[in-house]
Amino acid sequence: MRDPKDAHSREPGFRIRHAAEEDAAAIGRILRDLGWFSDINAEAPEESTGRIERTLGRCAARTDHTAFVAEDDAGEVIGYVAVHWLPYLFMKGPEGYVSELFVRRSYRCKGVGTRLLEEVRKEAVRRGASRLMLVNSRNRPSYKRGFYERRGWKERIEAANFVLPLKEDR
């Protein structure tokens, strides 16, 4: 059950708080509405909700993951961010890896994503993190309009982002 005292910050029209397991269905709807993720789009909404709920539960039980949601005045989840705190031996503090930041279409360009990132920044400072990092596909609208750059994030031109898909190994 959500605790109203868990609200971290309030802006006109929305507030930011820690994500809870009961936010799973709303997060699933946000992801499905994007249409970007074949795994989400291929599964039944109940399956997505269950998986997201279990993941939120595991994240809440640990200190190396944090998720925040933005909700409107009616209590509807309108966006979320997930961050993972990665320890590095060569840095004085962990790196916060922002793995997901998504906002419902009707709430974009209204400060929701910015406030979610600000909440992550506050948490990073509280944890003594050395830096924050994220990956943004160059074909996404947020990249094209310079969302992160306008908020002080620097693109690392000298680094390449590699992935090794393991789906076929399962």
Confidence grade of residue 168 (pLDDT, cut at 50, 70, 90): low
- Whole-number pLDDT of residue 12: 60
Distance CA 46, CA 20 (A): 17
Q: Cβ neighbours of residue 96 under 8 Å, at least 6 residues apart?
A: 83, 84, 85, 86, 120, 123, 124, 127, 129, 131, 132, 133
Rounded to an integer, what is the distance from CA 4 to the centroid of its chain?
A: 21
Residue 169 confidence (pLDDT) above 70: no
- Whole-number pLDDT of residue 2: 43
pLDDT tens for residues 80-107?
999 999 999 999 999 999 999 999 989 9
- Whole-number pLDDT of residue 24: 96
Work out the mean pLDDT of the chain and round it to a whole number: 89
Q: In what order do the strands lie in the sheet with 7-11?
A: 7-11, 14-18, 65-72, 77-86, 95-103, 131-134
Q: Say what angle helices 24-34 and 45-60 make with each other, to 10 degrees.
A: 120
pTM of structure = 0.86
Half-sphere exposure of 68 (CA within 13 A, CB side): 26
Q: Which of 3, 5, 1, 17 is nearest to 112 (CA)?
A: 17
Distance CA 102, CA 84 (A): 16
pLDDT tens for residues 123-154?
999 999 999 999 998 988 889 999 999 999 99
Average pLDDT over residues 8-25: 83
- Whole-number pLDDT of residue 72: 94
Locate 44 and state its tokens.
């039944």
CATH annotation of 4-136? 3.40.630.30
Confidence grade of residue 13 (pLDDT, cut at 50, 70, 90): confident
pLDDT tens for residues 70-87?
999 999 999 999 999 999
Half-sphere exposure of 99 (CA within 13 A, CB side): 9
Q: What is the dihedral sign for C-alpha 23, 29, 34, 40? A: positive
- Whole-number pLDDT of residue 132: 96
Confidence grade of residue 11 (pLDDT, cut at 50, 70, 90): low
What is the number of other CB atoms lying within 10 angstroms of the CB of residue 148? 18
Residue 1 confidence (pLDDT) above 70: no
Locate 169 and state its tokens.
């190994």
- Whole-number pLDDT of residue 3: 44
- Locate tokens 């599964």: which residue? 43
Give the start-to-end residue ranges of the domains of the chain: 4-136
Residue 117 confidence (pLDDT) above 90: yes
